[in-house]
Amino acid sequence: MEEINTYNDWLQTLEEEETLLLFVKTDNCSVCEALFPQVAAIEEDYGFPFYHVNAARVPELAGQLSLFSAPVVLLFRKGREFARFARFVPMADLERRMDELEEMTGESYD
């Protein structure tokens, strides 16, 4: 999972990638630390890239995406938000939405 370090990095990534997952965490967040490895573990099951960002280090991104808690998992397609999961993320629901996203793109890499 590649890290986003600046808001400009995010804008460039959003422009370049047709489909992506963004995992947003923050400092001293035990829920973030527990969820991150679960999300990272399924990255290889999908044909689109996963990114992560620390909202405390890139506050402009958190503001522009209206992120008020952490963790947040966002799915994007063609520069637009497709799905948002915040705080306690049910992995089955996340994977179902990711499967829908892959079906839309016609890319399945199972």
| pLDDT at position 85 | 96
Range of the domain at 17: 2-105
Would 53 be classed as within a structural domain?
Answer: yes
Q: At 66, which CATH number?
A: 3.40.30.10
19 in Cβ contact with 77 (< 8 Å):
yes
In a 3-state reduction of DSSP, which class is residue 64?
A: helix
Q: Which residues contact 81 (CB under 8 A, 6 or more apart)?
A: 65, 74, 75
Would 110 be classed as within a structural domain?
Answer: no
Tokens of 55: 């909202």
| pLDDT at position 63 | 93
Would 78 be classed as within a structural domain?
Answer: yes
Please give the tally of structural domains in the chain.
Answer: 1
Is the torsion defined by CA of 51, 73, 95, 88 positive or negative?
Answer: positive
Q: What is the pLDDT of residues 71-107, one digit of tens each?
A: 999 999 999 999 999 988 999 999 999 999 988 876 5
Would 15 be classed as within a structural domain?
Answer: yes
Does the structure show a pLDDT above 90 at 110? no
How many Cα atoms within 13 Å fall on the side-chain side of residue 106? Answer: 0
Q: What is the pLDDT of residues 26-75, one digit of tens each?
A: 999 999 999 999 999 999 999 999 999 999 999 999 999 999 899 999 99
In a 3-state reduction of DSSP, which class is residue 4?
A: coil
**Alpha carbon separation from 71 to 24, 56, 77, 104 (Å, rounded):** 5, 12, 20, 26
| Distance separating alpha carbons of residues 101 and 6, to the nearest angstrom | 26
